[in-house]
Amino acid sequence: MQTVHLVHYTTRPGGLEIKMPLRISGIKNYKVKVFIIRDKSWENVYRETSVEIAYGSNIKIIAFIKFFLYVLKQRKDIFHLFNAGPFFLAVLSLLGAKRVVYSIHGTIYWRSSFQRIVRKIFWGLGLSKYTVLTSNSEYSAKIFKERIAPDSSPVLLYNPIDLGRFSKPDGKITGKTIKVVYAGRLVEGKNLDRWVDAAVFLLKKELDAVFEIYGNGSYKSELQRRINESGYNEKIILKGHESHIENVFRSSDLLLFLSEYESFGNVAVESVLCGTPVITFNIPPMLEIFKNYPEFIIKNEKGFESELYGRIKTMAHLRMQAAKASKEFADRFGADIYKRKLEEIYVKLN
């Protein structure tokens, strides 16, 4: 039986990582192994799977050497890299691997001119006629073509969504108090300061609402300090990590997602599939997701809180549109579509 090696950076939950068990469940007729570039983490998205995992190291050169040796023994297999970067892709090219899939899940490729020069050299070494590219959104494909490979044609492969898990409840009950939530990593770039500012603005407008933040991350302590200073720590609450986030979506009235940048946006799709409307900034991936539902989009500009308040006042309409969008999203983002397209790619590699 042919083996597929899935390669990515960490087992800690993130937009990419949290979908890996679902991706594996859809890989039929192949043995699946996983190579994690970094070392073991106490957070592990594979905890409830039996997949075989090899680990690299948190020291980059050691991780690079371990991956080199790993590929050397198994280079005739299929290697599927998820946002692993040009250095690890170049190892596959150097060792003559001819069955390679590279999935684009990001939009930031360098942070300095020096990084740009070095990484573009390795992208040139890593990309070959044997590399099949996929992207998790039209936007991430566009940025890759602009910055890395203008002549490339990535296959659009949206992140798979488990429709059995993320679905509308029978007869959703809404109360007088509006429950507004955020779900995701607590890190810079997610605009969590502005999220708290927006919550304070709405509470000062005497909106009958509670605001809950789900997730963990490096910004958690600073976020709690900011909430405490706001004077609304009984209305704006850090809830921590929630394994069954679908239950949170089903019991909420609105997902408020104000990220500065994303390559896709899993939680926005999942929330709508649970029948809960979303309000998000007009960043490219959200415009792509909600192309038929502009009422879920607000402008990312100073004073956005007033526009947000106006949208929340139309909550009944937002709920109706979420119900409508959930049917379309099931067809666009369901895991079965992902599995079928991925199987087609693997078959062509053989």
Residues 15 and 115 in one domain: yes
Is the residue at 143 inside a domain?
A: yes
Number of structural domains (the chain) is: 2
- Give the domain range for residue 109: 3-160+334-349
Percentage of the chain modeled with pLDDT above 90:
91
Using a 10 angstrom Cβ sphere, with 0-12 exposed, 13-18 middle and 19 or more buried, the burial of residue 146 is exposed
Residues 185 and 283 in one domain: yes
Yes or no: say if 7 and 33 are a contact pair by the CB < 8 Å rule: no
pLDDT at 173 over 80: no
The C-alpha atoms of residue 154 and residue 214 are separated, in whole angstroms, by 33
Query: For residue 31, what is the enclosing H or E element?
Result: strand 31-36
Strand residue runs (E) in 97-208: 100-104, 131-135, 155-156, 178-183
Q: What is the pLDDT of residues 91-123, one digit of tens each?
A: 999 999 999 999 999 999 999 999 999 999 999
Strand order in the sheet with 278-281: 236-240, 209-214, 178-183, 254-257, 278-281, 297-298
| 127 lies in the same domain as 243 | no
Claim to verify: residue 22 and residue 149 sit in the same structural domain: yes
Does residue 144 sit in the same domain as residue 183? no
Quick one: 221 and 262 in the same domain? yes
Q: Are residues 184 and 323 in the same domain?
A: yes
Q: Are residues 129 and 7 in the same domain?
A: yes
Contact between 90 and 122 under an 8 Å Cβ cutoff? The reply is: yes
Strand partners for 182: 213
Same domain, 147 and 244: no
SS3 state of residue 140: helix
8-13 average pLDDT score: 94
Helix axes 304-312, 192-204, angle to 10 degrees: 60
Residue 27 lies in a domain: yes
Distance of CA 304 to the CA centre of its chain: 24
CATH of the domain at 328: 3.40.50.2000
**pLDDT for position 14:** 85
Distance from C-alpha of 207 to C-alpha of 190, rounded to nearest angstrom? 24
Kindly report, residue by residue over 19-66, the tens digit of the pLDDT. Answer: 999 999 989 889 999 999 999 988 899 999 999 999 999 999 999 999
Residue corresponding to tokens 């990593």? 185
